[in-house]
Amino acid sequence: MQAIPPLAPAVIVNCAAMTAVDRCESEQEAAYRVNAAGPHNLALAARRCGAALLHVSTDYVFDGSKGGPYDELDPPNPLSVYGRSKLGGEERVREILPEHFVVRTGYVFGSGRDHLTRSLDRLRRGEEAGGITDRIGSPTYVVHLAERLLPLIRTGRFGTYHLAGSEAAPWFDVLRRARDIAGLAGSITPQSAVDLGLPAPRPANSARSGRAPVTAARKVLMVSAYPPRRCGVGSYAKASVERMREEGDHVVVLSPPDGEGDVRVPFGRGRPFLRAARMGPGFDLVQVQYQPSLYDRPGLSPSKVLTALSLLWLVRKRKQTEIVVHEAGRPKWWRPDHFLLHRVFARARLAFHTDAERRHLEKDWRVRTRFRLIDHAGGVRIATRLAREEARDRLSIGDHEILFLCAGFLHPDKAFERAVRAFPGPPGARLVVLGSVRDGEPGNARYARSLRDLCERTPGVALIEG
Separation CA 448–CA 454 (nearest Å): 10
Do 100 and 173 lie in one domain? The reply is yes
d(C-alpha 446, C-alpha 327), whole Å: 17
Domain C-terminal end among 322, 349, 379: 379
- Write down the pLDDT at residue 382: 61
Write the CATH number for 184: 3.40.50.720
Asked whether the beta carbons of 444 and 412 are under 8 A apart, the reply is yes
Which pLDDT score is estimated for 215? 42
The answer to the question of residue 208 being in a domain is no
Helix (H) or strand (E) holding 162: strand 159-162
The verdict on residue 213 lying in a domain is no
Q: What is the pLDDT of residue 439?
A: 63
82 is a catalytic site residue: yes
SS3 assignment, position 14: strand
Residues forming a β-bridge with 188: 129
Per DSSP bridges, beta strands 128-132 and 187-191 are: parallel
DSSP annotation string for 135-168: -BB--EEHHHHHHHHHHHHHHT--EEEE---SS-
Q: Same structural domain for residues 191 and 237? A: no
How many domains are contained in the chain? 3
Pair (356, 399) in one structural domain: no
The reply to whether 37 and 97 lie within a common domain is yes
Query: How far is Cα 30 from Cα 22, in angstroms, rounded to an integer?
Result: 13
What is the rounded CA–CA span in Å between residue 126 and residue 71? 39
pTM comes to 0.56
> With bands split at pLDDT 50, 70 and 90, how would you rate the model's confidence at 387?
confident
- Categorize the per-residue pLDDT at 378 as very low, low, confident or very high, splitting at 50, 70 and 90: low
In a domain, 205, yes or no: no
pLDDT in tens, 250-275: 899 999 998 889 999 998 889 999 99
Residue 319: its pLDDT value, please?
80
Q: What is the pLDDT of residue 300?
A: 58
Q: Which three-class secondary structure state does DSSP give residue 426?
A: coil
Instruction: Indicate if 249 and 140 belong to the same structural domain.
Output: no
On whether residue 215 sits in a domain, the answer given is no
> Tell me, what's the pLDDT at 234?
85
Say how many CA atoms lie within 13 Å of 208 toward its Cβ: 33
What per-residue confidence (pLDDT) applies to 202?
A: 80
pLDDT band at 141 (very low <50, low <70, confident <90, very high): confident
Domain boundary among 379, 405, 432: 379
Give the β-pairing of 187-191 and 461-465. Answer: unpaired
Residues 165, 189, single domain; the answer is: yes
Mean pLDDT of 281-288: 87
Calculate the alpha carbon distances from 463 to 230, 447, 449 in Å: 20, 13, 11
**What would the pLDDT profile of 407-463 be if each residue is shown by its tens digit?**
877 878 778 888 888 887 677 788 888 888 766 667 778 888 899 999 998 888 888
DSSP state of 70: B
What gap in Å lies between CA 129 and CA 133, rounded to an integer? 13
Q: What is the CATH number of the domain that holds 457?
A: 3.40.50.2000
Q: What is the DSSP letter of 205?
A: B
Domain finish residue from 196, 229, 250: 196
| Arithmetic mean of pLDDT, 195-203 | 80
Phi, psi of 355 (to 5 degrees): -70, -25
Q: What is the pLDDT of residue 14?
A: 92
- Catalytic residue (one of 60, 70, 82, 236): 82
39 lies in a domain? yes
Domain interval for residue 358: 220-379
pLDDT in tens, 17-73: 988 888 999 999 999 999 999 999 999 988 888 888 999 999 899 888 887 888 888
Q: Is residue 169 part of a domain?
A: yes
Average pLDDT for 198-217: 66
Entry field: residues in the chain? 466
**pLDDT averaged over every residue in the chain:** 84
The predicted structure's pLDDT at residue 278: 92
Q: Is the pLDDT of residue 213 over 60?
A: no
The verdict on 236 and 127 lying in the same domain is: no
Shared domain for 370 and 224, answered yes or no, is: yes
Whether residue 288 sits in one domain with residue 375: yes
pLDDT of residue 379 exceeding 60, the answer is: no
- Do 266 and 232 reside in the same domain of the chain? yes
| Rounded (5°) CA angle 430-436-437 | 135
Looking at residue 19, its pLDDT comes to 85
> In the sheet that 11-14 helps form, which strands lie side by side, from edge to edge?
11-14, 52-58, 100-105, 159-162
How, if at all, do strands 402-409 and 370-373 pair? unpaired
Considering the domain architecture, whether residues 371 and 392 belong to the same structural domain is answered as: no
SS3 state at 289? strand
Which DSSP state fits 331?
A: -
In a domain, residue 210? The reply is no
The pLDDT assigned to 298 comes to 61
In a domain, 399, yes or no: yes
Domain match, 309 and 401 both: no
Please check the confidence at residue 15 and state whether its pLDDT lies above 80: yes
